[in-house]
Structure 1
Amino acid sequence: MAIDDLPRRFATVAAYNSAYPECALPMDVTVRNSQRAYHAAMVGVADDVTGTNASLTIEFLPGGAPAPGEADRVGTVVATHWGRGPLIVLAEDVSLRAAWKAVTAQFPTQLSQVCSLVMPLPRSVPVD
């Protein structure tokens, strides 16, 4: 997978939040850390796509991935450097539950693997 295959990249959280206000990443660290995100066993997902090899967190926005018993939401899946920029948009207007299930069913450790799981998800309105 090449970096050109990714939908959008933003240098800062503020730039992303300006472009995606309905799926904003919380600026407050306490709020952000309370949301369900994927960290690959707290090690982080290795960025093998952009060449940085940074450890990334996969964020499900808005509000984090729905917990069991919570209603599904349509949102955006992004990769962040532990909640900081740059942000890489991996999927837009997808079921956050479907995205969470796709990722946690495979437990990917590299960004290219996450991309292959969430980028093909259909844009949808969840029915829960």
Structure 2
Amino acid sequence: MTPEMFESVEAYNAAHPASPFPADRHKRGVLRGYRAAMRGVTDDVTGADSRTSLTVDFLPGGAPLPDEADRVGNVVASHWGEGPVYVLAENVSLRAAWQSVKDAWPTHLSEVRSALETLATSRA
């Protein structure tokens, strides 16, 4: 199943105001997210060009640092902070999502989704 997709950051933010992407693209670029060693994650899920690389972001605010409090939010994939924005998980612990993705060290979007499946299952 293809993840929910929004054509732009603005469209995503309108639909998910509790877990927004920063409006400023420079602030989006400094979020603590997953970038597969700065190569990006290969899109093998959405039907877009499979050579497109994506970043995985944890919203709001990026993945929590070890000394920060956990937050509940969304995990999204985008083309380096620009549209389209794909929602991979909603209302999950961002710390647990970060740890799952980091532990899996995925290089493809399907692998990111697999890493996040356990979060959805554990919340049920």
TM-score, length of structure 2 as denominator length: 0.91
SS in 2 for 1:105: helix
SS in 2 for 1:121: helix
* Equivalent in the alignment of 2:42: 46
* Correspondence list, 1:74-113, <5 A: 74-113=72-111
Moved over 3 A (4+): none
Corresponding letter in the other structure for 1:47: D
> How large is the Cα RMSD of the aligned pairs?
1.3
Corresponding letter in the other structure for 1:48: D
Paired positions, count: 120
Q: Is the 8 A contact 2:29 2:80 kept in 1?
A: no
Find the aligned partners of 1:17 and 1:119 in 2 and give their Cα distance: 23
Find the aligned partners of 2:104 and 2:9 in 1 and give their Cα distance: 27
TM-score, length of structure 1 as denominator length: 0.88
Corresponding letter in the other structure for 2:83: G
Find the aligned partners of 2:8 and 2:25 in 1 and give their Cα distance: 15
SS in 2 for 1:63: coil
Question: Which is worse superposed, 33-42 or 54-63?
Answer: 33-42
Q: Is the 8 A contact 1:47 1:110 kept in 2?
A: yes
Percent identical across equivalent pairs? 55
SS in 2 for 1:113: helix
Find the aligned partners of 2:16 and 2:60 in 1 and give their Cα distance: 10
**Structure 2: stretches of 5+ with no match in the other structure:** none
The C-alpha deviation readout for 1:30-83, integer Å capped at 9, x for no partner, is 211221010000000000001322100000000000001100000000000110
Corresponding letter in the other structure for 2:100: A
* Correspondence list, 1:62-77, <5 A: 62-77=60-75
**Structure 1: stretches of 5+ with no match in the other structure:** none
SS in 2 for 1:21: coil
Corresponding letter in the other structure for 1:112: S
